[in-house]
Structure 1
Amino acid sequence: MAIIGAHALLYTSDPNALRAMLRDAFGFKHVDAGEGWLIFALPPAELGVHPADGPTFESGVRHQLTFMCDDIHATIRDLRSKGVKVNGEPKDQGFGITVMLGLPGGVEVMLYEPHHATALEGASR
């Protein structure tokens, strides 16, 4: 038996708006599991394991979903043009340049351009 993938969940007070944004603004491929319940294919992913201490953990974050990009400024321009809320301006955090995206129903995800090596196949870093 092998693990064949991962299934991530976003909880939102406005699932229809968030599904529409992931479909239309982010352009994620999807299937309709019935009654408009869209399941999205995500870009290639990697998994990092962080220690359970420090400011992120102490702020209440236990698990985090981030979207990676090659050019954060171009990606922000594109997403803003499609109605995605970008909270603030990008900041260099050392490990990469980050900004938070405000998605429908109070969902926040990080967008970042990594400065470190990635485990993604074909990654240029």
Structure 2
Amino acid sequence: MITSIATVTVFVEDQQRAKAFYTEKLGFTLINDAEIFPGAGMRWITLAPPGCPTELSLFPMGEQWEHYREAMGKPQCFTLHCDDLMATCQELSAKGVQFLGDPQVQPWGSFAILVDSEGNQIVLA
């Protein structure tokens, strides 16, 4: 039986810059930061909001993943949840996080789209 989602991957150009963004700006906790395998020159970096079982993997863009490059800088296929959208947007804006416009209120719910250090668009709801 499947019980949870373990990891969601975001492709990044600069793992260290992305790690700093997610930990310092969004308050994620660093779970893993280790060399993928000896001599790889790439790291396995995962983070998560405090207490969240699903981890976000910051995977380095490389030649073998080039077919994913067109997804970078566009909306990603996951949403970050927060307790108070307006307060969270204000808090993140004060930390220098950029948003694509103001938070939106729709009949089905409210959301905002933030832009990470790599240009990826992440929905916040």
Find out whether 1:70 has 2:83 as its counterpart. Answer: yes
Pick aligned residue for 2:122 from 95, 109, 112: 109
Give the partner amino acid of 2:20. Answer: A
Could you list the structure 1 runs, at least 4 aligned residues long, displaced by more than 6 angstroms after superposition: 60-63
User: What does 1:26-41 align with in structure 2 at a 5 Å threshold?
Assistant: 26-34=26-34, 37-41=44-48
**Normalization by structure 1: what TM-score?**
0.64
Q: Matches of residues 79-118 of structure 1 in structure 2 within 5 Å?
A: 79-112=92-125
Partner residue in 2 for 1:24: 24
Ranges in structure 1 where 5+ consecutive residues have no aligned partner: 46-59, 113-125
Structure number having the greater strand percentage? 2
Equivalenced residue count is 98
RMSD of aligned residue pairs (Cα, Å): 2.8
The CA distance in 2 between the partners of 1:81 and 1:37, in whole Å, is 29
Structure 1 residue 62 displacement after superposition = 9.7
What do the CA deviations read for 1:12-45 (whole angstroms, capped 9, x no partner)? Answer: 2233221111111111111343256531134366
Provide TM-score, normalisation by structure 2: 0.64
How high is the sequence identity, in percent, across the aligned residues?
28
Q: What is the aligned partner in structure 1 of residue 6 from structure 2?
A: 6
Contact (CA 8 Å) 1:25, 1:84: kept in 2 or not? yes
Higher helix share: 2
Report the CA distance between 1:83 and its aligned residue.
1.5
8 Å CA contact retained: 1:13, 1:106: no
